Structure formats: C-alpha cells, structure tokens
Structure 1
Amino acid sequence: MSPAPHTQLLVGGRIYSASAPDATSMAVTDGQIVWVGAERPGRALHPDAEIVDLHGAFVAPAFVDTHVHVTAHGLALTGLDLTGTASREETLQRLREHAAGCDDPVLWGHGWDPTRWADETAPTTADLDAAAPGRAVYLTRVDAHSAAASTALRAAADPADLPGYHPQQPLTAAAHHAVRGAARALLTPAQRARARAAALDDYAAHGIVAVHECGGPDISGRDDFTELLGTDHGVQVRGYWGEAVATAEQAGALLAVTGAHGLGGDLFVDGAFGSHTAWLTAPYTDRRDCCGTSYLTVEEITAHVRACTIAGVQAGFHVIGDAAAAAVTAAFAAVADDLGGPAVAARGHRLEHAETLTVAQAAQLGRWGVIASMQPVFDALWGGPDGMYVTRLGADRAAGLNNFAGIASTGMSLAFGSDSPVTAARPWSMLRAAVHHHTAGSGISPRAAFAAATRGAWRAGGVRDGLAGTLDPGAPASYAVWEAGELVISAPKDSVQRWSTDPRSRVAPLPDLEPGTDDPVLVRSVHRGRIVYDR
C-alpha cells in the first residue's frame, strides 16, 4: 500500500499567486500545491492538514538562477574572495594573508576589478610571485575572462605561444583558458566538494532552489561537471555544457558522455567588455587597436544550432559584443530558413548575457523561440556615466546595453541569473537592478523582473507547463518564505505599464524594490515540498 497523502496548510501569510492575489493560505500535498485562498475555507477544505503558521510572512515562488558556476562560486566563498578590493595593493595583501594560512596546491582567487581602482593597474606575474613565492596562483578578474597567474602556474600551463599571452600582464583568450585548465587540475577533489557544498548552501540560503550550471572544457572541466551533477543536494542543478558540435550525432554523443541537459551556457562566441574580449564591430573606445575576440564563426554557430535542433537538444551561446550578437542572429536566421521557425522554436535555445542585443535582433530571435538569459547586476556594477561600460565603449554604445524593456517588448522571453561568482547570487538585489536601470527606458516593472527570475527561468530550463514558478494549484511546491515589510504594486516611472498599479487589476503585490529599501529576509526555502534551507 502507498502511504497516505500528507497535506500542509500554510496560514496567516501573504501568498504571491496570480490566481488568488489576496490569498493568505496555501495547501501543499506531497510536494504539490493543491489549493490557494483565504484561511477559513482552507481549514474547512483540509481539516486534517498539518498547520504551518506563517506569522504574517510573505510566500512567493522560489527563485531560479539561470547562469551560475557552482564550484567557482564556492571557491570564492571558501577561499580567496577579491570582490570589492579597492586597490592592487589591497588585492596583493589579501593574497599574502591567504597564502600564509593555506597549503592548497593552488591559490585560487576571484573578483579583482581594476576599473574600480584609482590607478587601474592590474596585478602582474611578478606581484604574485612576490606575494606568494613559489606558489601556483590563479586570480581571475571579476568577469572571469582574464586572470593573473604566477610563474609556477604559467610553467604548468605553457601559454607562451597562445593568443592572449603576455609575460607579466593578466592573460586573456586561449592563454587564459590554458592557465585556468592548469589551475583546475591542481584543485583536489576535497576542495571541489567543499566548494560545491558551500555554493549550493549559499543559493538555498537566498531563496534559490534551482540553478543552471554553465560548464565547459575551458570553464569547469569534465570531472567537476560530472561530480556536480551527481551531488545530492536540495538545490536542483541543470547542467549546460559549452562545447560546439557540427552534427546531430555529435550532439547526442556529447550529451550522453557529459550527462548535460543542454549544449550551451558558456559556449563562447566572444569574451567580456572588462577584459577587452567582447567581440565588437568597431574598436573599444579605450583601446583603438582592439575589437575583442571571436571564438566561433557564423558557420560554426550555424552548424551547432542546426545540429542541436535536429537532435532535439537545447543549444545556447555566450554572447556579449555587438559583433557576436550579429553573428548569432545570422546563424539562427540561417537555421530557421533551413529547418523552419517552428522546429527551431520547439527547442527553446538560449543566449547568455546578450548585453548588446538590439530590439530588431530580439524581435527576430523571439520569433524563433530564443530566450535571453541576462544578468541585471551587470548594469548596476558597470553601467552609468562613470561606469566601466562608458570607459570601454563610450556613452552612446554603453547606453544601449542590457535593454531589458526593449527586449521584452518584442515578446522575446527573459530569464535572469547572477553569473556567480561574477556577481553575488542575491535575487532581490538583482530584481532591483532590473527595475532601476541606469538608462532611462531600459528597466522593467518589478512584476516582470520577478517573472524573469521565476517563471521565465523555469521556461529557460525547458519547463513549459505554465505552472512552474507560480503558486497556483497544480504547481510544484517550490517556494520561499520571507520576512518582508509592506507589499506594493508598482511599475517603472518611465513605463507604460501603469495600469498594473490599479488595485482593480488584481495584480499580486511584491516587496518594495525602491533604491534604499531593505531586502526581505529569508525564513525558509522549499523545493518540491522538501525544505532546502530553514533559518
């Protein structure tokens, strides 16, 4: 005999549900939401339920982070986190202190950002050798597309003949991939396991119950990817492997050997603005000799999309510069002409970052079902008149970056993530950044931002049942309980969505995302009825 169903009735809260915007109660049976509404009828309908008193807490769909690097995030949490260092000297001092108390085979650090320093001087190989004599040191820039490496690590990688090499300055492109691979090989299984556990615990502790790992041969390596997908943790991991294929047979074989759920994520078309490796149609403003780096041709991108579409596999690409955006748009157009738009749309292919995507390109890609997986905190960190984007691209080009409103207006689906450890996995800060964009007209409403981090994020992961990411009857019981202040219904000041502020619209309210407001405090994270974090 199967066990009797178990029902919990959550009462005394504020439930974020489109089907019942005024709900104060929710019933969950064996990991599925079965009812949402007012408390009195809830008690009458479920007289034998276990009662969970919410004490006025706010209950909302749990978050999904659509772009993460789990082990790298964990290494920053458990090791040398250089985020926020104010100078090269502070960065080196942190390295000295870390080296003195750490005997790991490789000193792995992340997060230095010289565009936020007064002299903008990056750490050199000689600097690292002096701070940690004889040690293998790997320090990634905040965007993870370049890294400073010590002499000992360079000797293990032998990057001298590769593009992006410099004997003293941080390495980019293929030279960076080589030293990253050498550093990764020095990580012990215990280091990786400790890092993975710390990262997954951190996601759960911030209301995130599922993440999309963006792995690949130049990012995490097969061993780490396989170990991660085999990790037993309450936070669900969907794995993307960033390696290009040319045929449907190759796509199927690569999926089988890696255990990946899709062949995309950080499949690099180009690099990043901060490292001068995003692929541009015109030179960088601060480096007139440079248009960035292209890793795939239009023909290679086209072959990958075609192969994955035929094989029934979700594909995707890392796309940042405008030349990269033009290349992927041309590739999708070619495959849609060949196989038909509906065949392409059925796969839900993705573009990661998509920072320079234009409204016209989004309109095309949206017709073919392509999803934009974007990172709002990028604008918060690097946008604005004094930000890194303006330094790299000039004011006119910078103003067009991360145009969430423009992309969404075309019907192209949005999904949001952190790219942790590039930015911290803090969903409410991410939503605030999406709403309060540096460029007028590029921000979206809180409701649209929340949808991109919940319903849109599940859709980006191939779940198209219309229920995942909601608290409607029939949906999986994946939710987070928050201590939150007053709930509000709002829209961007420059938005045409003001109708949603009218109470008669029956729109469920959200926590206030105005600048300076406090983030809600997490009480509990639940995924499919299983508690994954409990304060």
Structure 2
Amino acid sequence: MTTSHSTLYRGGHVLSPAYPTATAIAFTGGLITWIGSDEDAPSADVTVDLDGCLMTPAFMDAHVHLTSTGSALSGPTLAEARNATDMLDRVAEAVVDLPKTAIVIGAGWDETEWTDPALPTPEQIARAVGGRRAYLSRTCGHTGIASPALLLENPDLAGLEGYSDTGVLRLYAHRTARSVAGSSIPDEQRTDWQRIALRHAASLGLAALCECGMPSEGTSIGEKDFTGLLALSKAEPLPRVLGYWGELCAAVKARDLGAHACGGDLSVDGSIGAHTAALRDRYIDEDTSGHAYLSASDVEQHIINCAGHGMQGGFHAIGDQAIANVIAGVAAAAQILGIEAVRAGRHRVEHAEMLDKQLIAGFVAFGLYASVQPSFDARWGGADKMYSTRLGTERALASNPFGSLAGVGVPLALGSDTPVTPLDPWGGVAAAAYHHNPTQRLSVNAAFAAHTRGGWRSTGDDSTGVLAPGSAATFAVWDRREAGLPDLADGAPAPRCRRTVLDGTVIFDEETVI
C-alpha cells in the first residue's frame, strides 16, 4: 500500500534516461517526483542510503505459471535428473511421508538432457510412487507421464488423442490428465505454492509478472487457481500479477475472472520438445510436423471477440506453421476491424520461436508484440542441443530470432515461462545478449529494456519500467556498486537483489523477512 509520505533514496547510482549521472531519487504516493544528484536532493519524510548500490527499474516477467513454479520450488527437483532412474529416485524420496491417497505432482524432466533418453515403464513409475496416483509433466508442459493408478482411475483418458498405455501422454490426453491431477491439490497447498513463487520472484528483483492461466478439462480448477492467485497478489506485499486467460473467444469470461487480457497460453500449437509445435516442414527425429490446435479462422474470431470487448488478445505459437496461422487469422480480422484497430490492440504472441522474414513482416504490419523466452535458446539452442536434434542445425540456429525481430521494430517482452525455465531475469538478459546465433543477439541494454519496460508496454502500460519523474516508483536495488548495467559476459555473476519496490512499497528486502 502506497502512502502520501515522501521518500528519498540517495548515495548510489540511479539508472535513468532522464538523468544519466543521477545518484538520488525521490517519490511520493508511489510516483517518482524527482531525480538528480545528492547535493540537489529535496528533503523527504524518509531517507534511505543506497550505500553506493545500483538502482534500476524492477524486472517484469512477461510469461509465468506461478502455482506450478511454487510446486517446483517445494517439491522434487526433476529438472536436475540425469536419467529415468535418477528421476524416479527423486520422486520416491519425496513421497515417503505422503498418505497413500495423496496425488503426486512433479514436473521439469527433460529426456533430451539425460545420459539415456529412455522413459520409465509403468511398472517403474508405480514402484517409485508406491502405487499412488501421479502425474509427472515434462519441462515443456506439453507432455507428461501418468502412473498406472491415475490411468486406472480415469479410463476415459484412453479415448483421447495422445493417449498411450505406457502412461506417456500428449495432446488432449495430456491436457485432461494434467487437469485431473491439478484438481486434487488442496486449496491451502495451492495458495502456499503461489506465495512461495511470488516471494521468490520479488527476491530476484521482479515487481510484476504475467500469469498465463487457462481452463482445465472437465473441472473449474483452472479458474479457481487463476482468481486465487490474482487475489493473493493484491492482498499481500507481493509482486503484481497481471492475468492472461487462455480461452478461445472468451473475452467476457476473462474480464469476469479479473484477467488483464484474453490470451497468453491460448495454444495454437504445442512445443518443440514434445514434437507438437506445428511446423511447415517435418521434424527430423520423428515422422510428424506437430499439431495445430487452432486454425487461422479460430484466430480471426478470437481477435474479433477481444476487440468487441476492448481486451487485448494473444496466442501461444511456437512453430512456423502455428505462427503462420496467427498471422493469417489476424490479417483476416484486420479486414473486418480495420488494421489500425488491430494494431491498437497490442495483441501478443507468446514464445514466437520459429519465424522467417515473411512472418516477422506480419508482426510489423499488425503491431504484434513478441513475448519471448531467451532462456529457451540458452538451454536448448545451438548446434548440439534439443532444437538441433528435433529441427536440424539450420532451423535450430534460426530459432528465437530476437535480433531480427528487434531490428525491424517488433516490440519484445522477455519472460521465463517458469517453471519451464527458472525465474532468473538477469539470466534472461544474458541469454538474449549471448544468443547461440551471434546475428540474433541483443545488446545488454536492449535486453534489459525488454525485460523491464518492454514487459510493461506489452500489457498496454507505457510509463512503468523506466525511472523518470511521473513514472511509478517501481525499482530494484542491487549489490553492484558501479553505474550502468553489468555486461554478463562469459558467465559473469549477476548482481544480487537487495530490495524490490512496487509503486513505492517494499515487497522484498534482503534484511527483512516479509
């Protein structure tokens, strides 16, 4: 909660385009009132000594899943598993004290990083979870492994596309199994996970995040999770959560849920790791070109629906065929609404990983924002990692073309897609600045701007994310005692967050447990 008291921070380095040599900043009621040098600083009700530290705009993560993030921070660390045996050992250790009726939720495994990519058998899964119901999602969130008990309890899964009696589920079978598992989580545990995730975000200098929620197959748990998270972020000193509701042509419902937009993970396709991202050309390691959940006509109707209710729209689209569906659908909507109305909507494309010049031109023409995750390239890009295995070296190196997008003016908003990759804003800046393909790199300054002001602008807010008089007093203080941003080259350590402030209110302080 902001107050009318004035506050002055002085004695540090303030990253501000309004005053490049600033050492002090003052704000009242959550808005910056003055920036300059210590000797010219106004008096204030409260004065804080920066002790030579760097103050910057706080980070904004443009794409997150916070309940799952809190679960990952609290549960078995499957992302660190080296093979199926290691993964199951971690699961078995985590379930020792659980009652037999509990459902086991795990996420983060990635067989492309294992020493042996073979997935566990149903018998091995059952043994590890002690016969309990369990669902273990792959890191991409687009496939998972169900235990025999979960399959037995939900026989209808067998009739859905993507089902396998091995327990490895994709497409609609995966979506339904994930919803079934999620609906078994107690409300108190769900809220605890959300709080853990938000406090962790604040400790990293994140003052706001875009939560990408979606309906759950056959249950209302998706809506309950979404509204509970939005309420929690408002009720406690935590980062702001802007809700993106991913349901087709549901702008009215999204508004009723308290969503900021009707978009986010409204999936046009799946993921590269699960072989479900929709491609123009086939994968090189499996005889498929992926799966398109939505057509160009679906996209057109969604944009029209959002425009009719004054809401921002958007889509999850990774493969080049999926992005082509988005561009074609937006173009068709522009024929009805007018191109300027479409551009004014600031509609977003989440991930936007595989684009050629023609698709990028579509982003420019229709004013689309690219909500991207540089950590995807850091983890799976280059000539010898998962993208190359799935797509071949040429397409792998052309993926996540941040430089090409920024070079023609496509607005970028950086995020993590946590828990797919961890909350790590400085890591995201470094990943964008040191992309595997040198032609697609951003400068550190450009990457930082995309992870601060760019995130806010992608939500329709043009004033937050920069330290200037009249802007929100939303910033982070770092242990770096030099002016300017670190270059983060060669794995250089990122600054440690000492304090995070949202609209003048401290939401994290390293000296205080909030």
* TM-score, normalised by the number of residues in structure 2: 0.95
Partners of 1:186 and 1:47 lie apart in 2 by 55
Q: Which residue of 2 aligns with 1:126?
A: 123
Determine whether 1:113 maps to 2:117. Answer: no
1:183-194 map, 5 Å: 183-194=181-192
Match of 2:486 in 1: 511
SS at 1:364 equivalent: helix
For residues 151 and 476 of structure 2, what CA distance do their matches in structure 1 show? 45
Name the CA distance, whole Å, in 2 between partners of 1:265 and 1:299: 18
Question: Would you say the 8 A contact 2:60–2:209 is kept in 1?
Answer: yes
Tell me which residue corresponds to 1:280. 279
Task: Provide the rounded CA distance (Å) in 1 between the counterparts of 2:50 and 2:342.
Answer: 44
- CA distance, structure 1, for counterparts of residue 491 and residue 398 of structure 2: 25
What corresponds to 2:9 in structure 1? 10
The correspondence of residues 370-389 of structure 1 with structure 2, limited to 5 A, is 370-389=368-387
Deviation for aligned residue 1:411? 1.0
**2:464 paired residue number:** 468
Report how many aligned residue pairs link the two structures.
Answer: 501
Which residue number corresponds to residue 368 of structure 1? 366
Contact 1:405/1:442 (8 A) holds in 2: yes
Q: CA contact under 8 A between 1:74 and 1:199: conserved in structure 2?
A: yes
Q: Answer yes or no: is the 8 Å Cα contact 1:380–1:438 preserved in 2.
A: yes
Give, in whole Å, the separation in 2 of the partners of 1:360 and 1:345.
18
Distance 1:82 1:370, change over 3 A: same
118-127 vs 31-40, greater mean Cα deviation:
118-127
RMSD between superposed Cα atoms in Å: 1.5
Question: Percent sequence identity over matched residues?
Answer: 41
Contact residue 16 and residue 22 of structure 2 kept, 8 A: yes
Equivalent-residue separation in structure 1 for 2:128 and 2:494 (angstroms): 38
Please tell me whether the aligned partners of residues 157 and 178 of structure 1 are also in contact (alpha carbons under 8 angstroms).
no
SS in 2 for 1:230: helix
Q: Distance in 2 between matches of 1:406 and 1:4?
A: 44
Contact 2:453 2:466 in 1 (8 A): yes
Q: Deviations over 1:427-456 (max 9, x none)?
A: 001100000000120010111101111111
> Counterpart in 1 of 2:25?
26
The one of 513, 519, 523 equivalent to 2:498 is 523
Indicate yes or no: 2:479 matched with 1:483. Answer: yes
What is the one-letter code of the residue matched to 1:312? G
Q: Residue by residue, what CA displacement relative to the aligned partner does 1:244-266 show, whole Å, maximum 9, x if unpaired?
A: 01xxxx532x1243222211000
Task: Please tell me whether residue 240 in structure 1 is matched to residue 258 in structure 2.
Answer: no
**Is there any run of 5+ residues in structure 2 with no aligned partner, and where?**
none
Q: Which residue of 2 aligns with 1:498?
A: none
* Maintained 8 Å contact 1:280/1:322: yes
2:197 match: 199
Q: Distance in 2 between matches of 1:468 and 1:157?
A: 47
Cα pair distance change 1:4/1:224, threshold 3 Å: closer
User: Partner residue of 2:173?
Assistant: 175
Q: Does the CA contact (< 8 Å) of 1:91 and 1:112 recur in 2?
A: yes
Matched, 1:51 2:55: no
Is 1:152 matched with 2:149? yes
Aligned equivalent of 2:86: 90
Gaps of 5+ in 1: 488-508
1:101 deviates by 2.7
Deviation of 1:398 (Å): 1.0
Larger mean Cα displacement after TM superposition, 148-157 or 289-298: 148-157
Deviation at 1:157, TM superposition (A): 3.2
Contact preservation (8 Å) 2:12, 2:481: no
Distance 1:66 1:419 in 2: 8
* Structure-1 separation of matches of 2:174 and 2:143: 6
Kindly provide the amino acid, as one letter, of the partner of residue 277 in structure 2.
A
Evaluate the alpha carbon distance shift between residue 82 and residue 485 of structure 1 in structure 2; reply closer, same or farther with a 3 A threshold.
farther
The residue identity in structure 1 corresponding to 2:257 is T
